[in-house]
């Protein structure tokens, strides 16, 4: 059985070490535990070891897990691609949505966010250079999109998210994270109140933290390797 408490401790140590190297306080980087493909029992074990925020990519799997874990005070983040037909469940069942890349999706999320819940936290996904997929808005479009998203009543725009492709070379790994931070700073200078850079995963969290990430999304380093995608 995967030793989740041990893995959690070692990931937290990696985060602390990376913060120290970057001259940043440890409290400036949050840990999102990516529990996709793993079961409710793994989430429960991680929670018992002190982890509070969990990220999921697949809606139905996430809803099933949430139902099984309804007794725990967890924070749920959706980090998968957002399609129009999923926005209602996302607006009703999640605390954060990271992959917002179009205004139409943001509008639906805002319209569908229940009145009894706080505003839905969102990050706009940006396609920085070296992306693994075509997902995310172009960096040049980010300012207009972020302004429009920030104006929606039931959303709280928190920042930017990116998923750079894995790279063997450290300089190559850092470049897209730097681009993301520079864009983030540009948006803040333009007056947007952003506090989140959602970037860095199991294999590159040190590079992401060196370039300013405030929230790393870590799956396999906590829960073990996932079965390869079908």
Alpha-carbon 204 to chain mean position: 14
Nearest-CA neighbor of 131 among 176, 84, 174?
Answer: 176
Rule CB under 6 A: is residue 90 a binding residue for ligand PLP?
no
Rule CB under 6 A: is residue 79 a binding residue for ligand PLP?
yes
Q: Are 161 and 199 in contact (CB under 8 A)?
A: yes
Q: Are 217 and 198 in contact (CB under 8 A)?
A: yes
Q: Which stretch binds ligand PLP (CB under 6 A): 22-30, 128-136, 179-187, 213-221?
A: 213-221
Q: Per CB under 6 A, which of residues 92..121 are in contact with ligand PLP?
A: none
Q: Are 216 and 222 in contact (CB under 8 A)?
A: no
Out of 51, 110, 127, 202, the residue judged to bind ligand PLP by CB under 6 A: 202
Rule CB under 6 A: is residue 61 a binding residue for ligand PLP?
no
Rule CB under 6 A: is residue 197 a binding residue for ligand PLP?
no
What is d(CA 147, CA 228) in angstroms, rounded to the nearest whole number? 38
What is d(CA 170, CA 153) in angstroms, rounded to the nearest whole number? 40
What is d(CA 219, CA 196) in angstroms, rounded to the nearest whole number? 19
Contact code string over 11-40 relative to ligand PLP, x by CB under 6 A: -----------------------x-x----
Cβ-based neighbour number of residue 104 at 10 Å: 9
Out of 123, 163, 175, 210, the residue judged to bind ligand PLP by CB under 6 A: 163
Q: Which stretch binds ligand PLP (CB under 6 A): 14-22, 59-67, 136-144, 214-222?
A: 214-222
Q: Which stretch binds ligand PLP (CB under 6 A): 15-23, 85-93, 178-186, 197-205?
A: 197-205
Could you list the residues that contact ligand PLP (CB under 6 A)? Answer: 34, 36, 57, 79, 163, 201-203, 217-221
């Amino acid at each position: 059985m995967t030793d989740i408490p041990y893995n959690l401790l070692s990931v937290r140590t990696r985060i602390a070490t990376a913060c120290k190297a970057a001259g940043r306080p440890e409290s400036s980087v949050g840990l999102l535990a990516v529990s996709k493909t793993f079961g409710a029992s793994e989430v429960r074990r991680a929670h018992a070891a002190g982890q509070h925020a969990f990220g999921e990519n697949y809606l139905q799997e996430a809803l099933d897990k949430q139902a099984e874990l309804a007794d725990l005070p967890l924070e749920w983040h959706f980090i998968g691609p957002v399609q129009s037909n999923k926005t209602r469940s996302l607006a009703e069942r999640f605390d954060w949505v990271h992959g917002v890349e179009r205004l139409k999706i943001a509008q639906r999320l805002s319209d569908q966010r229940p009145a009894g819940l706080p505003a839905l936290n969102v990050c706009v996904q940006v396609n920085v250079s070296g992306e693994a997929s075509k997902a995310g808005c172009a960096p040049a479009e980010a300012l207009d999109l972020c302004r429009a998203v920030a104006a929606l009543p039931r959303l709280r725009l928190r920042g930017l998210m990116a998923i750079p492709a894995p790279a063997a070379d450290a300089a190559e790994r850092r470049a897209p994270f730097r681009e993301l931070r520079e864009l983030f700073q540009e948006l803040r200078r333009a007056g947007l109140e952003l506090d989140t850079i959602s970037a860095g995963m199991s294999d590159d969290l040190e590079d992401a933290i060196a370039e300013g990430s405030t929230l790393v999304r870590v799956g396999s380093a906590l829960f073990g390797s996932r079965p390869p995608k079908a």
